[in-house]
Structure 1
Amino acid sequence: MAASETKERIAESLASLLNHNTFDKITVREIADEAEVHRKTFYYYFADKYELLAFVYQQFIVAAPRHDKPVTITLENWRPETIQLLERIADHSKLFLNAYPYDDGVWRQSTNEFVAARLSILLHAMPEYRYLKEDVIDTSAEFIAAGAIGIINKWANDNFKASPRTVLDQMTTANRLFNGILDRWKLS
């Protein structure tokens, strides 16, 4: 079996276990047994179950579905790409709800980095923000991403009752408020 297949099988095993148990109750032994690998094999690929969980978040939720070519976020496609991300979260709601409250910040950190990197690209592409220094744009992207993750976490805590489009609207409204602050800052 190829190394990537083994790594993915271990990730699939954790995802499967998360459909029935909370992350804090799942052991490395259970993950290895579910994947039908030795514990040593688990530790060959992952330092601990938190590193594996970050990989699971990326594989099952954050990363776009596998395409021949990775999708580049643009000013034209960011809304449908964000809706797809939110739909993946909702599709994996059981996994998400059984993991993120117990993950010691793994969700927030890994997803914040992913979202902030894409937001930074978008902000750099906006002509009205070209006057800003690169570090200000990057910090703004991190700030907006943290807010978006907070909205997603609130949505999860409400058991995903709102639609992904409603959540995107909430993020957009929060971003408009932030843009208003930026515009006032620019004028002062």
Structure 2
Amino acid sequence: MAASETKERIAEALASLLSHNTFDKITVREIADEAEVHRKTFYYYFADKYELLAFVYQRFIVEAPRREKPLTITLENWRPETIQLFERIADHSKLFLNAYPYDDGVWRQSTNEFVAARLSILLHAMPEYRYLKEDVIDTSAEFIAAGAIGIINKWANDGFKASPRTVLDQITTANRLFNGILDRWKLS
């Protein structure tokens, strides 16, 4: 079996286990058994179950449709791409709900980095922000991303009742408020 197949099998094993158990209750032994690999094989690919969980989040939620062709985020496609990301989170709600409350910040960190990087690209592309220094744009992207993750976590805590579009609208509204602060800052 190829290395990438083994790594995928281990990730799929954790995803399967998360369908009926919380992350804090799942052991490396159970993951290895589910994947039909030795514990040593697990540790060859992952330092611990938290590293595996970060891989699972990326593989099943963030990267799912981009495995063959990476996405270039633009001002034109960011909204539908974000809705698709939220739909993947909702589609994997059981995995998400059984993992993120117990993951020691793995979801927040990995997703915050992903979202902040894409927001930075978008902010750099917006002509109204070209007066800002690069570090201000990057810090703003990190700030907005952290707020977006907070809204996503609230959505999860509410059992994913709101639609992905509604969640994006909440994030957009919060961003508009932040833009208002930026505009006042620019004038002072």
In the superposition, the TM-score normalised over structure 2's length comes to 0.99
Output one character per residue of 1:24-68: Cα deviation in whole Å (capped at 9) or x when no partner: 000000000000000000000000000000000000111241354
Moved more, 142-151 or 64-73: 64-73
User: 1:18·1:94 contact (CA, 8 Å) conserved in 2?
Assistant: yes
Output one character per residue of 1:86-130: Cα deviation in whole Å (capped at 9) or x when no partner: 000000000000000000000000000000000000000000101
Structure 1 residues without counterparts, runs of 5 or longer: none
Q: Structure 2 CA distance, aligned partners of 1:178 and 1:81?
A: 22
Q: Percent identity over the alignment?
A: 95
Give the aligned length: 188
Residue in 1 aligned with 2:138?
138
Q: Structure 2 CA distance, aligned partners of 1:68 and 1:57?
A: 17
Output one character per residue of 1:10-35: Cα deviation in whole Å (capped at 9) or x when no partner: 00000000000000000000000000
Question: Aligned to 2:95, what secondary structure does the other structure show?
Answer: helix
Structure 2 residues without counterparts, runs of 5 or longer: none
Q: Structure 2 CA distance, aligned partners of 1:157 and 1:62?
A: 20
Shift of 1:69: 2.3
Q: Which runs of 4+ in 1 moved over 2 A?
A: 66-69
Q: Structure 2 CA distance, aligned partners of 1:124 and 1:186?
A: 16
Shift of 1:71: 1.0
Over aligned residue pairs, what C-alpha RMSD do you find? 0.7
Residue in 1 aligned with 2:9?
9
Q: Structure 1 CA distance, aligned partners of 2:92 and 2:65?
A: 14
Output one character per residue of 1:142-165: Cα deviation in whole Å (capped at 9) or x when no partner: 000000000000000000000000
In the superposition, the TM-score normalised over structure 1's length comes to 0.99
User: 1:64·1:85 contact (CA, 8 Å) conserved in 2?
Assistant: no
Question: Aligned to 1:75, what secondary structure does the other structure show?
Answer: coil
Q: Structure 2 CA distance, aligned partners of 1:83 and 1:25?
A: 31
Moved more, 72-81 or 59-68: 59-68
Q: Structure 2 CA distance, aligned partners of 1:58 and 1:3?
A: 18
Question: Aligned to 1:165, what secondary structure does the other structure show?
Answer: helix
User: 1:112·1:142 contact (CA, 8 Å) conserved in 2?
Assistant: yes
